[in-house]
Amino acid sequence: MSNQEPNIEGKISPAEVLAIGDPGDETQRNFRYQHGYGTILLIAGFSGSLRYKAIWCEHHEDILAECNDSKFEAFQIKTRRPENGDWDLTDDEVKRSIHRFVKLHLQFGNAITKYAIVSNAEFMKCGWDIADRKKIKKSLVLLLDSVALSDGAPMTPFLFADVLTSLSEEFKCSENDLLAVLKKTQLVKGPPRDNFDTDISHNHLTKCNGCAHMGRATLNKIRDEIIQRVYLASSLQLDNPLQHLPIENAVAQTVMEGKRLTIDDVQECISGNGEVVFRYQPFETTLSLESQSKGKPVLQQKMEKGSLENMLKTMTRRVLSTEQSLLEKGYEPGGDTIKLLTQLESVVQAEFDEAENEVMLELKPDNPDYGRLVYAKFSARLKDLVTRTPELVAHQPYESLIGIGGLLTENCSIWWSEKFKIDAA
């Protein structure tokens, strides 16, 4: 029961009543359904369920899927209220879709290998044995089945001959071209219009590598980001500066580039929403960002002992810069320096331990080359980590991670040689 009181005329507030049949809401939902189905196709290409490497949005067709062999499949996306019944050949939208496919066939021929009409609503079905021949003639399902099983003409020309003639006359094309299109046309039942968002998150995204164990909030965030990219690719939004330069066909080139999304876009969206990132449990960090000795005598002694004198100046600068950078992050809105420092310390220490274990298979810590070899392997591991899984270290640059290594050297968590007694500062 609403707590709002009737207004002066005794009427209730519009804030209390759900608007039914709002054409704006309906239009937006239909567009989102189209963008959602484009997302499904792109995810299927990324997961390997379909042989797609990219999709083109509102480019010759609602969705044009680009196959690995550089052929294409064209999709018309149709939405309908279930109460309006099933689609059949008397529906103008169905005929417009077929007509559109015929035009693409005439323009591109065998470059397009499949046409599909996708809808949340059903396509009218009936049996061949029913007495109502008019109902059979209305069934796109039976027409396509008939054409698919024939060598050219439909199986039952006495039923569909006039239908084909009528459609070819309406489309101003030959019956042969119409039949060629119908042979490559499929009808696809898409997800329900009211819960396709959930379907994308939990029935499609979870098939992608690394997503199976993600939580609902993360899956929904990835889904929304991919749908947003499909939406932008479907629009005429241009953000390429080439469009403003005196380059021939620059605008056309920019538009074309903006309409294509690749399976790498899915990877970017997944990688950028890092619930899959391994997180160390919080603990009291051993690092301090307020060094008591700015001369870094401990760092100097340990670097020299490990035959790394040539790296001392660079390491010192990286330590100071890393300290300053992390201190500044603590004052950012929502900044949590201790949590970040804990993660960075754990990751960098782990990478050093792995590098040291590798070197110990070849050299002992008292070997003069030990420190240089450990540093080389440690540095290579950090560079690989920054490139391969930047989210693991909160997208910190390589220099900051080496700086963390310097801080860990100062507090004696990292040694570049055999351990020795540190001289007092």
The long-range contacts involving 276-283, CB below 8 angstroms and separated by at least 24 positions, are: 276/210, 276/211, 276/213, 276/214, 277/389, 277/391, 277/392, 278/392, 279/343, 280/342, 280/343, 280/346, 280/347, 282/338, 282/339, 282/342, 283/342
Q: Is the pLDDT of residue 75 over 90?
A: yes
Residue labelled with tokens 């040291």: 356
Could you report the per-residue pLDDT of 41-70, keeping only the tens digit for each?
A: 999 999 999 999 999 999 999 999 999 999
d(CA 36, CA 30): 10
Burial of 99 (0-12, 13-18, 19+ CB in 10 A): middle
Could you report the per-residue pLDDT of 229-270, keeping only the tens digit for each?
A: 999 898 865 445 545 445 455 445 556 778 899 999 999 898
The least confident of 3-17, 65-79, 156-170, 238-252 is 238-252
Element (H, E) at 18: none
The number of helices, as runs of H, and strands, as runs of E, in the chain is 15, 6
**Whole-structure pTM over 0.85, yes or no?**
no
Listed in sequence order, the DSSP H helices in 361-421 are 370-388, 398-410
pLDDT > 70: percent of the chain: 79
Could you report the per-residue pLDDT of 196-211, keeping only the tens digit for each?
A: 999 999 999 999 987 8
The mean pLDDT of 359-375, rounded to a whole number, is: 94
The mean pLDDT of 66-81, rounded to a whole number, is: 95
Residues facing residue 65 across a β-bridge = 55, 73
The predicted structure's pLDDT at residue 276:
43
Q: What's the distance, CA 70 to chain centroid?
A: 21
d(CA 36, CA 34): 5
Cβ count near 270 (within 10 Å): 24
| Both tokens assigned to 337 | 């320096």
The mean pLDDT of 317-325, rounded to a whole number, is: 86
Q: Is the pLDDT of residue 217 over 70?
A: yes
d(CA 165, CA 111): 26
Return the closest-CA partner of residue 425 out of 326, 241, 333, 291.
291
CA distances from 225 to 21, 32, 162, 201 (A): 28, 13, 48, 12
The predicted structure's pLDDT at residue 246:
52
Spatial contact of 371 and 416, defined as CB atoms under 8 Å apart: yes
